[in-house]
Amino acid sequence: MEQNSPVNEYEQARLEKLAKLRALGIDPYGGKFPNAQPLQTIADKYDPENEEQTVCGAGRIILLRDIGKLIFITLRDRTGTIQTGLSKKFLGQTWDAAKLLDLGDIIGIEGMLGKTKTGEITVWATSFNLLCKATLPPPGKWHGLQDVELRYRRRYVDLFTNPDVMATFRDRIAIIQTIRQFLQDRQFLEVETPMMHAIAGGAAARPFITHHNALGIDLYLRIALELHLKRLLVGGMERVFEINRNFRNEGISTQHNPEFTMCELYQAYSDYNGMMDLTEELFCLLVRQRSENMQLKFNGQTVDYSPPWRRKTYAQLFAEYVGCEITDITTIRQKARKLEITEADMDDTIVTNELFEHFVEDNLINPTFVIDYPAALCPLTRRKPDNPNIAERFELYICAMEIANAYTELNDPAVQEENFRLQLRGQTETMAKMDEDFITALKYGMPPAGGLGFGIDRLVMLLTDSPSIRDVILFPLMRPNE
């Protein structure tokens, strides 16, 4: 950064104040301030009948008006804001230090709770402690960090300057807590499974590769939780879930981040119908906590979450929106060519799914369970007993986004092994390894089960009306600054 830039000038002025504070014998990076009460608690306890209320609080300075012998400051902490009045009359020798305060500084105050002539609740400080001197000024005179990319890069500034952003992440925390409690109330056990795998499996995705020096082997950051969680079903953990990170070495968009959070769960003796019921119950609980009429806005659209949710087969939706049956391969390939899809070397099922994604998904605004997928798309899924070409799988779509994916789990080791072999044909060397240990686990016997996975990030996007996945991830992946 150039030395004559305005930011540097502001920073230099603050560094000079820092030196003056030290010359006054004040530590600008003070120690603990243990008796501070939440600022909202202080404001709530104001009693006009009691003029002797002594309070103690701490926070960041977000407004500062210096009018000579009186300085009005607004402090903000995790709970809210309150005005503080610093008077030369009450502060005595520390007044010189008070005149060196800036926006963004963190201070602790003690004083009497009262009101100004304009009726604003105010702490009239009898003392203050400088807890941290900010040597960079907050952006835009405290109107919040506006540059979108800079907000993601400097989330620490985004959080303390934009209350709405802080609220979104508080909502995210509450959503995850609700999910945990919902599952624990139903006797699901929360577990942790490995993030580094010797074999990249459980989903069709490109992994991140790392190297373990001591063992001299390449390892893969996991692309899915599935195979280890199903091993636990074999072991007798009949209801398990994990909320944790997956990693996929793929693109970045408003709906994709290479590092993302999934909730995945498995329930023995259930199936995909049981997973549909559980998903609808959980998601409706989350919506009900935010909307009495079960409607929420997302990206300018109103989504109606009122149960029961629509359940339609893949084939029904394909016929409705594409205009032909999924068995009419000639017409499907003609439509694909019109969309300039290079379909000649694609399997019929893959071409069909390309059209499904193009024509169908954008129409799925209100919650829709898309059920009964072509079996060729679902190597880990049990087939329907009366039709082996159809898999007992659903995907939940809301606002044209895939939010959840669930199966009736395949527990036949011979069929699973054959499906793996078919899936691995034509894969790169990295992805062309079969998880033999998972097949071994199935041979010991896995109970019939339903399995469900849903993206926490996309769910939070919907529930908080956040248009980009980066808005709900504290530190999204960014290209390094040059």
Q: What is the pLDDT of residue 441?
A: 97
Residue 4 banded pLDDT, cuts 50, 70, 90: very low
Phi and psi (nearest 5°) for 116? -85, 175
Sign of CA dihedral 421, 422, 424, 425: positive
> What value does the mean pLDDT take over residues 136-152?
74
DSSP strands (E only) in 329-477: 368-374, 383-384, 387-398, 401-408, 449-455
The model's pLDDT over 432-461, given as tens digits with 9 standing for 90+, comes to 578 899 999 999 999 999 999 999 999 999
Residues in the chain: 482
Q: What is the pLDDT of residue 204?
A: 76
> What value does the mean pLDDT take over residues 71-92?
95
Residue 142 banded pLDDT, cuts 50, 70, 90: very low
Please, are residues 260 and 394 in contact by the beta-carbon 8 Å criterion?
no
How far is residue 111's CA from residue 405's CA, in Å, rounded to a whole number? 56
- CATH superfamily, domain 6-137, is Nucleic acid-binding proteins (2.40.50.140)
Q: What is the pLDDT of residue 140?
A: 67
How far is residue 71's CA from residue 54's CA, in Å, rounded to a whole number? 19
Task: List C-alpha distances in Å: 464 to 4, 40, 177, 274, 423.
Answer: 41, 24, 15, 27, 37
Please, are residues 86 and 71 in contact by the beta-carbon 8 Å criterion?
yes
Give the DSSP letter string of 102-170: -TT-EEEEEEEEEE-TT--EEEEEEEEEEEE--SSPPGGGGT----HHHHHHTHHHHHHH-HHHHHHHH
Q: pTM of the full predicted structure?
A: 0.91
Fold (CATH) for 160-309+366-471: BirA Bifunctional Protein; domain 2 (3.30.930)
Q: Would you state the structure tokens that stand for residue 72, as one six-digit string? A: 């009005």
Q: Does residue 211 register a pLDDT over 90? A: yes
Q: What is the pLDDT of residue 251?
A: 82
Residue 429 banded pLDDT, cuts 50, 70, 90: low
Task: List C-alpha distances in Å: 107 to 41, 50, 60, 67.
Answer: 17, 26, 7, 19
Residue 373 banded pLDDT, cuts 50, 70, 90: very high
The model's pLDDT over 279-315, given as tens digits with 9 standing for 90+, comes to 999 999 999 999 999 999 999 999 999 999 999 999 9
The overall average pLDDT reported for the chain is 92
Q: Does residue 404 register a pLDDT over 90? A: yes
How far is residue 241's CA from residue 449's CA, in Å, rounded to a whole number? 13
Most confident option among 96-105, 204-213, 418-427 = 96-105
Task: List C-alpha distances in Å: 116 to 60, 62, 87, 98, 134.
Answer: 21, 19, 13, 20, 28
Q: Does residue 13 register a pLDDT over 60? A: yes
Please, are residues 207 and 200 in contact by the beta-carbon 8 Å criterion?
yes
End-to-end CA distance of the chain: 12
Q: Does residue 8 register a pLDDT over 80? A: no
The residue among 317, 291, 316 whose CA lies nearest residue 304 is 291
> What value does the mean pLDDT take over residues 323-333?
95
Q: What is the pLDDT of residue 427?
A: 63
Q: What is the pLDDT of residue 2?
A: 39
Q: Would you state the structure tokens that stand for residue 90, as one six-digit string? A: 């009450």
Q: What is the pLDDT of residue 97?
A: 95
DSSP strands (E only) in 238-353: 239-247, 259-268, 295-298, 301-304, 310-313
Residue ranges of the domains in the chain? Answer: 6-137, 160-309+366-471
Please, are residues 160 and 76 in contact by the beta-carbon 8 Å criterion?
yes
Q: What is the pLDDT of residue 7?
A: 54
Peptide bond into 308 cis (omega under 30): yes
> What value does the mean pLDDT take over residues 273-280?
98
Q: Does residue 201 register a pLDDT over 90? A: no
Q: Which residue has the tokens 């390892």?
A: 219
Q: What is the pLDDT of residue 432?
A: 58
Please, which residues have CB within 8 angstroms of residue 311's CB and are 6 or more apart in sequence? 276, 368, 369, 371, 394
Strand partners, 110: 56, 127
For the chain, how many helices (H) and strands (E)?
Answer: 15, 19
Q: Does residue 1 register a pLDDT over 60? A: no
Q: What is the pLDDT of residue 143?
A: 52
Q: What is the pLDDT of residue 431?
A: 56
The residue among 469, 319, 321, 308 whose CA lies nearest residue 402 is 469
Q: How, if at all, do strands 368-374 and 387-398 pair?
A: antiparallel
Q: Does residue 40 register a pLDDT over 90? A: yes
Q: Does residue 16 register a pLDDT over 60? A: yes
Please, which residues have CB within 8 angstroms of residue 129's CB and are 6 or more apart in sequence? 30, 33, 107, 108, 109
% of the chain beyond a pLDDT of 70: 95
